[in-house]
Structure 1
Amino acid sequence: MPSLASQVSSVPNSGIRRIHEIALQLDDVIRLAVGEPDVAVAPHVLDAGSAAWLADDTDYTANGGIPELRAAIKTKLAERNGIDVDTEQVWVTIGATQALNLAMSLTLSPGDEVLLPDPGYTTFTMNARMLGAEPVPYPLHPAAGFVPSIDELEKLVTERTRLIIVNSPSNPLGAVYPAEILAQLLDFASRHDMWVISDEVYEAFSYGAPHTSMASLDTEDRVFSVFSVSKTYAMTGARVGYLVTPPGLAETMRTYQEAIISCVDTPAQRAAVAAITGDQGAVGAAAAHYRGNLDAATALLDEAGISYLPPTGAFYLWIDISHASDGDVAGWAESFLLRERVSVAPGSAFGRSGEGWIRVCVAASREDLLEGLRRLPRP
């Protein structure tokens, strides 16, 4: 058999998926490792997707998506994100995962360096390695509230640095960066002529700290923005996201979309139109549910004396378990799953700075969430 491409062996596995795969083979597991909303999809969204299937609305669409969805996204961006774009800057993708891969493919050449958050979402590193680029983690420290330090970022820049990835609200941390921090990051990118990818998948869920879209502050057309309907509308399996590009890339985007996916399936796009343009009550209800779960969970952790990062967004808790993990939180999480039948994501899956921490998804039933947390070892 011929050998695979040289970069294949450098692509790390997902430590989250490892725990999830083990959990799927066990009975009676409380699953808190994967970011899967536990709320139902709104009926009008289901109706729109079902109607498309029943009408045999299953032909190819334009590479960028159906006109109705691109128009709906354009309006949404202007009204909710403060971003004014042309339709040709909006590209419907197979979830935010493809949008992220597409943006990184457009901005990185083999050997280029990309600054990415540590702790940060696992596919940031995976994508960089797949493209033959070099991931350069920028540390996010607990003492600083996991906010990026411009001084530390400056020390990481080399002549090969081409891109910085910013994630707010953050997965796994639940941190929401204030507008002034995002503006500083844009100034930093401008000084070094970098591209910026702004991952805003959890935009709908912020608590007491308003979400700001980086592109709304961008005056130099250097930001690619990644969004999704998966988390906002509990449509993870529908696989609909979108990438918002700087202007002038339409022909390039058409070429890349055609080569990679051609288009997103039509019924899923019809459902996304209904989600974005229809009643948003389900989104508000989901946010209230997650906020209530976070409040209940943090009260339990406070009582148990277990430290955590107070979240201001997303639907995760970043919990310090270093008193029990003995320097190997990945191994501890696996043993904890087998022993206590609770799956949690090991912090080391999100980068070296995550050692000793775990990520818990609070998008679960209140009963399961609290029972799972009760099984954590106390200091």
Structure 2
Amino acid sequence: MPEIAAHARSIPSSGIRRVFELAQDVEGAILLNVGEPVLPVAGHVLAAGARAWEADVTHYTANGGIAPLREAVAAKLARENGLRVEPERVWVTAGGMQALHQAMALTLDAGQEVLVPDPGYANFAMTARHVGAVPVPYALRAERGFRPDVADLEAVTTARTRVLVVNSPSNPLGTVLGEEDLRALLAFAARHDLWVISDEVYERFTYGVPHVSTAALDDDGRVLSVFSFSKTYALTGARVGWLVAPAGWGEVLRSAQEAVVSCVNAPAQLAALAALEGEQDVVERAREFYRGNVAAACALLEGAGVAHQRPDGAFYLWVDVSHASGGDVAAWTERFLRERRVAVAPGSAFGARGEGWVRVCAAGGRAELLEGLSRLPVP
């Protein structure tokens, strides 16, 4: 029999999913490992999707999405992100993950290299492998507050490098890159003539610092921006996101979208439109809920003397358990789940530099979050 393609076999498995699956068999487990908001979807968003199904709005849409949604996204980007783009540059995708996949598929040929943050979202490396490219980690160091250093990027850049991935607010670290950081990264990308893929899925959740969109600082048209409705509106299962592409990419994106999903399902697009055009107080309440969870969690960890990265954005805590994990945090998280009934994501799932750390999701109930954290071993 023929073999599975080599690039498909090279896709790494998800250490986050491994813990998630194991936790299903642990009765009473506290689940702090997956980025799933506990807050309900707003009623007007659910109603818009339900009306679409009931009215049989179930036919194909344009490859790039329905015009009202693309227009609403473009208006939102101008209003909130300082990014003025024509609606034709907005491509509605099946979640942020498909936007990321399209961005990599359109900028990377087989064997070319993409710089991905380490620690960083595991799916960056997985997606790169899926399109036949080679993910190359660049260091995010604790002593720098997990902010990128251009010197570290220069050290791993080769003649095969084609793309730089930037993630702010960061999953799993919660770091938020400011204008100075982003301008330095754009200057680096310009020196090496790289595309930049900017993952801004957690843009609406920052705490005391502004979110800056990379593309708003881009004068060269080298940035592709990835966004999602999943976290902002608790629509993780609806699978609606969007990609902001450089000008003039319409024809190639039309073909690429047709080849992958044709279009995103119409009721989900209408629900997303209602989310974007409706009252945004639900987002403000969510941000304050997560801010409160983060503050309470950090206070508990500080009181226990457990080292951690206090996040400026997203809704994760990056916690140092190296005093207990014995150099294999993936195995330790499995033992911790069995013995203490708490599921956390091993830091090694986010790159080699995540060894000794765990990611804790703070988007659930506060009582469970604090109870789970109280079971962590103290130094």
Shorter-chain TM-score category? over 0.9
Partner residue in 1 for 2:28 = 28
2:53 and 2:281 map into 1 onto residues whose CA distance is 25
1:136 counterpart SS class: strand
1:236 counterpart SS class: coil
The one-letter code sitting in structure 2 at the alignment partner of 1:111 is G
1:318 counterpart SS class: strand
1:142 and 1:342 map into 2 onto residues whose CA distance is 25
1:55 and 1:368 map into 2 onto residues whose CA distance is 40
Partner residue in 2 for 1:264 = 264
Partner residue in 1 for 2:69 = 69
1:179 and 1:54 map into 2 onto residues whose CA distance is 46
Could you give the per-residue CA deviations for residues 214-258 of structure 1, whole angstroms, max 9, x where no partner exists?
Answer: 000000000000000000000000000000001000000000000
- Residue 26 of structure 1 and its aligned partner are, at CA, apart by 2.2
Partner residue in 1 for 2:126 = 126
Partner residue in 2 for 1:234 = 234
1:352 and 1:20 map into 2 onto residues whose CA distance is 20
Q: How does the TM-score come out when normalised to structure 2?
A: 0.99
- Residue 129 of structure 1 and its aligned partner are, at CA, apart by 1.2
Alignment of 1:186-197 (within 5 A): 186-197=186-197
Partner residue in 1 for 2:11 = 11
The one-letter code sitting in structure 2 at the alignment partner of 1:372 is G
Q: Find out whether 1:136 has 2:136 as its counterpart.
A: yes
- Residue 88 of structure 1 and its aligned partner are, at CA, apart by 1.1
Q: Find out whether 1:374 has 2:369 as its counterpart.
A: no
Q: Find out whether 1:174 has 2:174 as its counterpart.
A: yes
Partner residue in 1 for 2:322 = 322
Partner residue in 2 for 1:54 = 54
The runs of at least 4 aligned residues of structure 1 exceeding 4 Å deviation read none
2:93 and 2:81 map into 1 onto residues whose CA distance is 19
- Residue 209 of structure 1 and its aligned partner are, at CA, apart by 1.3
Partner residue in 1 for 2:334 = 334
Which shifted more, 215-224 or 1-10?
A: 1-10
1:20 and 1:209 map into 2 onto residues whose CA distance is 32
- Residue 115 of structure 1 and its aligned partner are, at CA, apart by 0.5
1:59 counterpart SS class: coil
1:238 counterpart SS class: coil
1:269 and 1:61 map into 2 onto residues whose CA distance is 10
1:249 and 1:61 map into 2 onto residues whose CA distance is 19
1:335 and 1:96 map into 2 onto residues whose CA distance is 32
Partner residue in 1 for 2:92 = 92
Partner residue in 1 for 2:277 = 277
1:162 and 1:94 map into 2 onto residues whose CA distance is 25
The one-letter code sitting in structure 2 at the alignment partner of 1:210 is P
2:201 and 2:301 map into 1 onto residues whose CA distance is 27
2:373 counterpart SS class: helix
Could you give the per-residue CA deviations for residues 32-77 of structure 1, whole angstroms, max 9, x where no partner exists?
Answer: 0000001010111111011101111111000000111001101001
Could you give the per-residue CA deviations for residues 163-215 of structure 1, whole angstroms, max 9, x where no partner exists?
Answer: 00000000000000111100110010001100000000000000011100000
Taking every aligned residue pair, what percent have the same amino acid on both sides? 59
2:71 and 2:149 map into 1 onto residues whose CA distance is 37
Could you give the per-residue CA deviations for residues 316-358 of structure 1, whole angstroms, max 9, x where no partner exists?
Answer: 0000000000000000001101111110000000000000000
Alignment of 1:101-120 (within 5 A): 101-120=101-120
1:91 counterpart SS class: strand
- Residue 103 of structure 1 and its aligned partner are, at CA, apart by 0.2
1:6 and 1:227 map into 2 onto residues whose CA distance is 30
2:237 counterpart SS class: helix
The one-letter code sitting in structure 2 at the alignment partner of 1:46 is L
2:191 and 2:36 map into 1 onto residues whose CA distance is 38
Instruction: List gaps (5 residues or longer) in structure 1.
Output: none
The one-letter code sitting in structure 2 at the alignment partner of 1:166 is V
Aligned residues: CA RMSD = 0.6
